[in-house]
């Protein structure tokens, strides 16, 4: 049995590169940018009027002039015009180019317009006022957004501004989510006394959806030959297999055995944590599969074949075990794979907690902000089977195995699954 730290390091060492694809920028929120975005022009691209009003030659105002005959209008989106007479003015609109020869803008609030003449009603006007200078926010060629950024609405605005209608993003891994366990029936079925409904595949689908990864799902009964033949096919087709169940010590927990027979290298089985201890993790190299299988995957080029690795996360079947392991291991693995450095978030424990076993304890907590402090209040569930307790919490707090008493006010890492 290894520690959570060792397990996480092993998982991170198995990060994979899924390559890059080009997609329409407007479909890219939540995806990982894979190219540097540079300014295609200065920002602003011209001396930009930043207030509706009149544009004048500042030196006329400085020389005491207060009445300016209106020569014309410079609208946003119109070609630049020229102030012909330095003693006149031009009406200008926010977003317009500053007219040639104009050097200051006075807002409508500060002038009175009568008979085509604007009279300035304030005493102080500054040179270059209300002009957003060409290139002030950025120069052509400036790096605006670095590759390896998670694209949010802010990046969408930048991409639109510089004309990147399509962009390069990290390809998502192809993921298959597989539940096992003969006690499981479909969501729409009425379970018999000894049955329960499938739920873990759906929580996993939803957790992956948050990462903008779409996935496929399948349920396989506890039948070793069936399990083996299906997994064999999936290893060729998918980048990641996520299992829920069949990794413990039961008579029908065939999964570790089957994965071994299929040449999937076990990197660890069992992690010193609660819940989620029987977590099995391994990696399959296509070269490790039988020749036949490699050649069956006809849609892959010879070069790809030698690169193809499938990462296998086999989580214990208890709902909270599956849930926390996906957050604590699959999420970091994904972020590492696509080039994102995950920031650690931590919170202040609101109550004393005692946990004796020499295991890392992932405890459900409700989060609250108080005066800039993030407070984590434990939600006591009934062990790893209690899915209902998850809906009352927002995160897990990760209490280290070296400690048995955790005091109110101490700060620990949290793994959040709910924002609001």
C-alpha span between 360 and 25 (Å, rounded): 41
Please tell me whether residue 78 binds its own copies under the rule CB under 8 A: yes
Question: In angstroms, what is the minimal distance from the CB of 120 to its own copies?
Answer: 16
C-alpha span between 82 and 46 (Å, rounded): 14
By CB under 8 A, the residues from 21 to 60 that bind its own copies are 25-26, 29, 39, 41, 43-46, 48, 50, 52-53
Smaller CB separation from its own copies, 43 or 281: 43
Give the Cβ contact number of residue 332 at 10 Å.
Answer: 17
Please tell me whether residue 117 binds its own copies under the rule CB under 8 A: no
Smaller CB separation from its own copies, 185 or 267: 185
Question: In angstroms, what is the minimal distance from the CB of 62 to its own copies?
Answer: 25
For its own copies, how many residues bind (rule: CB under 8 A)? 119
Smaller CB separation from its own copies, 166 or 297: 166
Question: In angstroms, what is the minimal distance from the CB of 350 to its own copies?
Answer: 11
Q: Which of 131, 240, 253, 378 binds its own copies (CB under 8 A)?
A: 253
By CB under 8 A, the residues from 128 to 147 that bind its own copies are 132, 136-138, 142, 144-145
DSSP code per residue over 73-88: EE-TTSPP-B--STTE
C-alpha span between 136 and 364 (Å, rounded): 48
Smaller CB separation from its own copies, 289 or 367: 367
Please name the helix (run of DSSP H) or strand (run of DSSP E) that holds residue 106, with its range, or none.
strand 104-107
C-alpha span between 323 and 314 (Å, rounded): 12
* 3-state SS track over 143-197: EEECCCCECCHHHHHHHHHCCCCEEEEECCCCEEEEEECCCEECCCCCCCCCCEE
By CB under 8 A, the residues from 379 to 398 that bind its own copies are 381-383, 385-391, 393
**Cis check: omega of the bond before 281, within 30 degrees of 0:** no
By CB under 8 A, the residues from 269 to 298 that bind its own copies are none
Question: In angstroms, what is the minimal distance from the CB of 365 to its own copies?
Answer: 12
Please tell me whether residue 163 binds its own copies under the rule CB under 8 A: yes
- Pair 288, 327: CB distance under 8 Å: no
Please tell me whether residue 419 binds its own copies under the rule CB under 8 A: yes
Q: Among 54-62, 68-76, 112-120, 279-287, which window interacts with its own copies (CB under 8 A)?
A: 68-76
Smaller CB separation from its own copies, 295 or 369: 369
Please tell me whether residue 82 binds its own copies under the rule CB under 8 A: no
- Pair 254, 224: CB distance under 8 Å: yes
Question: In angstroms, what is the minimal distance from the CB of 299 to its own copies?
Answer: 28
Question: In angstroms, what is the minimal distance from the CB of 118 to its own copies?
Answer: 13
Q: Among 2-10, 259-267, 281-289, 375-383, which window interacts with its own copies (CB under 8 A)?
A: 375-383
By CB under 8 A, the residues from 169 to 228 that bind its own copies are 181-184, 187-200, 202-207, 209-210, 222
Please tell me whether residue 113 binds its own copies under the rule CB under 8 A: no
Please tell me whether residue 342 binds its own copies under the rule CB under 8 A: yes
By CB under 8 A, the residues from 299 to 338 that bind its own copies are 317, 319, 323
First-residue to last-residue Cα distance in the chain: 36
Q: Which of 114, 302, 371, 402 binds its own copies (CB under 8 A)?
A: 371
Smaller CB separation from its own copies, 12 or 374: 374
Strand partners, 56: 104
Q: Which long-range contacts (CB under 8 A, 24 or more apart) does 1-6 make?
A: 1/270, 1/271, 1/272, 1/277, 2/268, 2/270, 2/271, 2/272, 3/271, 3/272, 3/360, 3/401, 4/271, 4/272, 4/273, 4/328, 4/360, 4/398, 4/401, 6/268
Give the Cβ contact number of residue 419 at 10 Å.
Answer: 7
Smaller CB separation from its own copies, 288 or 339: 339
CA 137 from chain centre, in angstroms, equals 27
Q: Computed from CA positions of residues 313, 317, 318, 319, in that sequence, does the dihedral angle turn out positive or negative?
A: positive
Q: DSSP assignment, residue 123? A: S
How many CA atoms lie less than 13 Å away from 329 in the CB half-sphere?
Answer: 35
Question: In angstroms, what is the minimal distance from the CB of 361 to its own copies?
Answer: 18
Q: What are phi and psi of 67, to 5 degrees?
A: -110, 130
Q: Which of 3, 65, 94, 117 binds its own copies (CB under 8 A)?
A: 94
Smaller CB separation from its own copies, 251 or 356: 251
Q: Among 8-16, 70-78, 112-120, 265-273, which window interacts with its own copies (CB under 8 A)?
A: 70-78
């Amino acid at each position: 049995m290894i520690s959570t730290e060792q397990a996480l390091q092993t998982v991170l060492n198995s990060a994979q590169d899924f390559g890059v694809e080009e997609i329409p920028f407007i479909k890219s929120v939540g995806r990982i940018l894979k190219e540097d975005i540079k300014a295609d022009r200065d920002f602003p691209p011209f001396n930009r009027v930043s207030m509706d009003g009149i544009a004048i030659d500042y030196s006329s105002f400085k020389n005491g002039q207060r009445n300016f005959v209106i020569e014309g209008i410079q609208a946003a989106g119109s070609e630049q015009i020229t102030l012909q007479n330095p003693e006149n003015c031009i009406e200008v609109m926010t977003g317009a180019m500053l007219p040639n020869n104009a050097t200051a803008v006075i807002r409508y609030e500060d002038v009175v317009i009568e008979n085509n003449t604007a009279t300035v009603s304030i005493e102080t006007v500054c040179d270059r006022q209300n002009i957003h200078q060409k290139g002030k926010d950025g120069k052509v060629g400036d790096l605006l957004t670095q590759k390896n950024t998670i694209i949010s609405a802010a990046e969408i605005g930048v991409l639109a501004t510089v004309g990147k209608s399509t962009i390069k993003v990290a390809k998502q891994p192809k993921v298959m989510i597989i539940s096992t366990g003969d006690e499981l029936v479909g969501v729409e079925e009425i379970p018999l006394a000894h049955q329960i409904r499938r739920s873990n595949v759906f929580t996993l689908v939803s957790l992956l959806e948050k990462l903008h990864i779409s996935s496929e799902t399948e349920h396989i009964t506890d039948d070793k030959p069936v399990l083996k033949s299906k997994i064999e096919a999936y290893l060729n087709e998918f980048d990641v297999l996520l299992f829920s169940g069949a990794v413990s010590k039961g008579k029908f927990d065939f999964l570790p055995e089957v994965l071994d027979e299929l040449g999937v290298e076990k990197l660890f089985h069992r992690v010193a944590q609660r819940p989620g201890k029987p977590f099995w993790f391994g990696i399959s190299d296509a070269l490790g599969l039988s020749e036949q299988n490699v050649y069956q995957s006809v849609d892959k080029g010879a070069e790809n074949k030698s690169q193809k690795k499938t990462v296998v996360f086999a989580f214990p079947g208890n709902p909270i075990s599956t849930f926390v392991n996906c957050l604590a291991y699959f999420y970091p693995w994904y972020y590492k794979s696509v080039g994102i450095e995950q920031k650690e978030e931590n919170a202040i424990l609101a109550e004393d907690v005692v946990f004796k076993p020499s295991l890392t304890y992932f405890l459900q907590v409700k989060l609250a902000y108080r005066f800039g402090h993030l407070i984590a209040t434990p939600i006591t569930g009934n062990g790893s089977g209690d899915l209902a307790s998850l809906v009352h919490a927002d995160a897990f707090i990760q209490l280290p195995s070296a400690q048995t008493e955790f005091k109110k006010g101490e700060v620990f890492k949290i793994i959040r699954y709910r924002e609001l």
